Amino acid sequence: MQFSVDTHLFRELGEFLVGRESTALAELLKNAYDADATQVTVYGENLSDPVRGYIEIIDDGAGMTEQEFELGFLRIASRLKESGARYSTRFHRRYIGAKGIGRLAAHKLARHLSINSVPAIEKAGPARKRTQAEIDWDSIEAQESLDDIGSHGLSVKVNPVAKSVKPATMIRLTKLRQEWTETRRACFVSEIRAYQPAPVLMEPLEETIKPYISLFDKQPQVQDRTSNDPGFSILLKGDFEQGDEPWNKVLAAVDWVLEMRASLDDPNITYLFTPTRRQRDKNPSAEQHRFVTPHPDSKLGPHFDARILLREGSSPLKRAEDRSGYYSGIRLFLEGFRVLPYGEPSNDWLGINADYVDRTDRIEALRETAFPDLLEESSDLKTEREGLSCPRTRSYLGGVFLTQMGASSLRMVVNREGFEPAPQFDTLVGAIRTGLGLLTRIRAYHSQEYRTLRRETRASKHQLRVREKEPTLTERAQRAIEHTKTETERAVKLAQAGDAKSAGSVLISTAQSIQSLVQTSANSLRDQSGMIRVLASVGLQMGEFVHEVRAALGGAKLLFKEVEEYRRRPDLSSSLRKHAAKLVRMAESLQRTIEWLARSLDEVSTIDKRRRRSRRNLRASFDEAISFVQAAAEKRLVTIDNQIAEDLVTCPMFASELFSILLNLLTNAVKYAGTEGAVLATATQSDQKGVRLTIENTGDRVDPASAERLFRAFESSSTTANAALGRGMGLGLPITRELVEEYGGATRFVVPSEGYAAAIEVEFPK
């Protein structure tokens, strides 16, 4: 007996080792790089038709000799690149390929593979030969084992070649496995373009950052290569060809440049934060800052260069220009080739979006940093509410550049997408997150005056808005009483003067006004009775629900304790410990969510909250409401900005009623803000010395002129349910208005400020 290998090995390896089409092509591009190619052309034709379509990869590298093709290309898991110093012959590049199975990536793209390779003279000598091969994967897999293949599905021809023929390798893929739609092709092209660093990350930035200078002499070190290496470029042609890229627009919109260096010959990590000319035009006080800190492990590393560009404000590109997120995100590169999935829109490997939606006063990246000396050095730059300046991922464009020498402690996972979990990778992430945290602190410090001016401008806009206040039912009744009293006195005087007819007309007109008011009151009471029946039904279940929530809170606390104890076990491997740490964070988040829910229910259901009225700090009360909807807002990437002044207080109110008012308004704002939307809360002193609260949100526009219908009971505009925010019953706004009017206040929609689609205003009396 002896070992045998099923031909399905090709399919299993091709599918298992390669997660997507772009990864498959990247493996072939890496082979071209290792062959000392300076340019590789990727050509596609008729890609929408799998039968007629084909893809060609042509490079100008050193090609393959007959022996290299047999021992390297045809031998699975070849050790050819493991021998010697692992450097290429012509430009002495560090080999990127390591496992000898990257060529099987072609299996994922097509059923048929053609190869035409001419080796360089310095490799094969003057009597060099061209190698031509045809591989039909379907014919190969029709055989039972590799021993049965023979000439089935594989044919190889070797012929002499003239001296004038330049070395090159052409791979042609036919019988495509997928139909390449326009969307699929656009996504593929974006991913392939992103496999190399963006030009703006590599070019000198002297003109952009004058009079300051860059951390790097010419450009970041992207590859471990010699000075005579002309570089490596990818050219997309045919169906893959794209128009000119708007890099000038991107660079012109940059406000800050963050550069980092952790080199093999330096035990420190250096951070350099530089404002661009654009930033200094807006903010002349902005200046360059440099920080240096010891590397946590200067021997194992990892060592890297990084350049990250930050844009403040909206994108300079139209949506059609950047559908795939190619012009944003911080990506990771190894020897000049991107390592997936770091930097994709859905991959928050640096926790940037998590920090953005957190919207706390602190900078989370600095709170958890492993470099306490940097906290001390940057303490003079700390400002109040600096955490609110955290940008989202799409505001960044950056690259973190690793070389084989500098990142020898990192190992890629078997499917070539990502690095294996290890302390060295955690060190890399921590160092970059610290740099981003420091950048946020520096930006907040230099933009204090601008932020203060913006708040004052917003406040003044709120005060200058023209508002038409519709009288409440209580106000209408009071006016009717005063009007009736005045008209009755006038009728009496007319009667005493002998003008009985005029007196009767006055009394009839007054009676009609009272009848109209009574009818309106009756309609209102009918609506309220419906609300009361619904709320009474809900209230019957409240006590049991509160009990269950408190029981769940006890279980969540126990779960957190158990998982935390498990994480601290000394016999856990590093991978299990990291996974346990993730479970601890999840358990802690669950516990915190249930605590918020229990506290919120206490606010609206506890008898003590209805026993005594008192003035409430509006900002603190709004923060309480934020804590209840924070988890839902984070899932939708909605930011909540509480800009209510610290000293504003409400009229004497019950705590439960104020909480209900704020929670109803905030829940609506988050629900309708849309994905990656924003909610803004501001408040000013009203003319009557009361407080005027305004809550604004992005999303669908609400016209104040037609918004009165939203205050009718059971008139919800929500058609779909949300796991955290629920589906509206149309009672939130009516209840809110009734509660506010009980205190003599008013609730209405108003014209939103610039950048927002809807705004609702609540006036609390003195």
Element (H, E) at 334: strand 329-334
User: What backbone torsions phi and psi does residue 305 show, to the nearest 5 degrees?
Assistant: -115, 150
CA-closest candidate to residue 678, choices 359, 384, 465: 359
DSSP-based helix, strand, coil % in the chain, nearest 5: 45, 20, 40
Question: Taking 50 as the threshold, does the pLDDT of residue 34 lie above it?
Answer: yes
Of the listed ranges 62-66, 251-255, 550-554, the one predicted with least confidence:
550-554
Question: Taking 90 as the threshold, does the pLDDT of residue 260 lie above it?
Answer: yes
Which has more confidence, 146 or 740?
740
Q: Do 693 and 655 contact (CB within 8 A), yes or no?
A: no
Over its C-alpha atoms, the chain yields an Rg (Å, rounded) of 35
Question: Taking 60 as the threshold, does the pLDDT of residue 605 lie above it?
Answer: no
- Res 18: pLDDT: 62
Q: How confident is the model at residue 459 (pLDDT cuts 50, 70, 90)?
A: low
Question: Taking 60 as the threshold, does the pLDDT of residue 101 lie above it?
Answer: no
CA-closest candidate to residue 294, choices 270, 268, 261, 262: 268
Question: Taking 80 as the threshold, does the pLDDT of residue 600 lie above it?
Answer: no
Q: How confident is the model at residue 725 (pLDDT cuts 50, 70, 90)?
A: very low
Structure tokens at 141: 């897999």
Structure tokens at 736: 């809110």
- Res 78: pLDDT: 55
- Res 223: pLDDT: 85
Of the listed ranges 14-23, 218-227, 272-281, the one predicted with least confidence:
14-23
* Cα separation, 679 vs 154, whole angstroms: 63
Question: Taking 60 as the threshold, does the pLDDT of residue 469 lie above it?
Answer: no
Of the listed ranges 586-590, 617-621, 708-712, the one predicted with least confidence:
586-590
Rounded mean pLDDT of 673-695?
85
Count Cα neighbours of 70 within 13 Å in the Cβ-side half-sphere: 6
pLDDT digits (tens, 9 = 90+) for 447-458: 887 766 666 665
User: What backbone torsions phi and psi does residue 308 show, to the nearest 5 degrees?
Assistant: -130, 125
- Res 727: pLDDT: 41
**DSSP line for 532-553:** HHHHHHHHHHHHHHHHHHHHHH
Question: Taking 70 as the threshold, does the pLDDT of residue 538 lie above it?
Answer: no
Percent of the chain whose predicted confidence (pLDDT) is above 70: 78
Rounded mean pLDDT of 640-657?
86
Of the listed ranges 61-65, 118-122, 468-472, the one predicted with least confidence:
468-472
Q: Do 358 and 390 contact (CB within 8 A), yes or no?
A: yes
Rounded mean pLDDT of 25-53?
89
Q: How confident is the model at residue 257 (pLDDT cuts 50, 70, 90)?
A: very high
* Cα separation, 591 vs 431, whole angstroms: 30
Averaged confidence pLDDT in the chain:
80
pLDDT digits (tens, 9 = 90+) for 609-640: 445 678 889 998 898 888 778 878 887 888 88
Which has more confidence, 288 or 551?
288
Which has more confidence, 440 or 164?
440
Rounded mean pLDDT of 240-250?
83
Question: Taking 70 as the threshold, does the pLDDT of residue 122 lie above it?
Answer: yes
Query: Exposure of 702 by Cβ count < 10 A (0-12 exposed, 13-18 middle, 19+ buried)?
Result: buried
* Cα separation, 644 vs 693, whole angstroms: 8
Beta-carbon contacts of 444 under 8 Å, excluding residues fewer than 6 positions away, are 383, 385, 386, 388, 389, 451
Q: How confident is the model at residue 587 (pLDDT cuts 50, 70, 90)?
A: confident
Element (H, E) at 137: helix 137-141
- Res 402: pLDDT: 95
- Res 37: pLDDT: 92
Q: How confident is the model at residue 334 (pLDDT cuts 50, 70, 90)?
A: very high
**Cα angle 577, 579, 582; round to 5:** 110
Rounded mean pLDDT of 194-218?
90
Beta-carbon contacts of 284 under 8 Å, excluding residues fewer than 6 positions away, are none
Structure tokens at 466: 């023209």
**Cα angle 298, 299, 305; round to 5:** 55
Could you give all domains of the chain from N- to C-terminal order, each with its CATH number?
8-180 (3.30.565.10), 198-226+243-446 (no CATH), 473-764 (3.30.565.10)
Q: Do 749 and 704 contact (CB within 8 A), yes or no?
A: yes
Q: Do 304 and 264 contact (CB within 8 A), yes or no?
A: no
Which has more confidence, 469 or 23?
23
Question: Taking 60 as the threshold, does the pLDDT of residue 84 lie above it?
Answer: no
Question: Taking 80 as the threshold, does the pLDDT of residue 501 lie above it?
Answer: no
- Res 253: pLDDT: 92
Q: Furthest-apart CA pair in the chain: how many Å?
A: 134
* Cα separation, 95 vs 84, whole angstroms: 11
Q: Do 69 and 124 contact (CB within 8 A), yes or no?
A: no
411: helix, coil or strand?
A: coil
Rounded mean pLDDT of 60-87?
71
Question: Taking 80 as the threshold, does the pLDDT of residue 523 lie above it?
Answer: no
* Cα separation, 709 vs 470, whole angstroms: 13
Q: How confident is the model at residue 729 (pLDDT cuts 50, 70, 90)?
A: very low
Rounded mean pLDDT of 353-382?
86
**DSSP line for 634-700:** HHTT-EEEE---TT-B-SSB-HHHHHHHHHHHHHHHHHHS-TT-EEEEEEEE-TTSSEEEEEEE-SS
DSSP code of 274?
E
pLDDT digits (tens, 9 = 90+) for 156-205: 999 998 888 999 999 999 999 888 888 788 778 887 888 889 999 998 99
Distance of CA 273 to the CA centre of its chain: 23
Question: Taking 60 as the threshold, does the pLDDT of residue 28 lie above it?
Answer: yes
